Amino acid sequence: MGWVETRRRRTSLGPGSRPCDVCGSEDVSLTESRRVRQGLDRLNPAFKAEARRYELCAGCGSKREPA
């Protein structure tokens, strides 16, 4: 068995709270990413979507924890 890539669904929750630390762009959005059910996870009642929240810069692509 090899490593299997986990698919994720990304949702934009609105604008970020501060400008990007890397490039200084104001185009930062608060984003949530969740695992998507696939394969045997569709049958697993204990499946958890494991949400991650981060701020994503549209200018340079950097991610950081929300403030």
Per-residue pLDDT of the chain (67 residues; tens, 9 = 90+): 556 667 889 999 999 999 999 999 999 999 999 988 888 878 888 888 889 999 999 999 999 998 7
Inside any domain, residue 27: yes
Positive/negative CA dihedral, 66, 59, 36, 3: negative
Please count the structural domains in the chain.
1
User: What was the pLDDT predicted at 5?
Assistant: 67
* Residues 12, 29 contacting (CB under 8 angstroms): yes
Question: What CA–CA distance (Å, rounded) separates 1 from 34?
Answer: 24
Phi and psi at 64, nearest 5°, equal: -150, 160
Give the range of the structural domain holding residue 29, as residue numbers without chain letter: 8-64
Return the pLDDT at 18. 92
Residue 51 lies in a domain: yes
Q: H/E element holding 27?
A: none
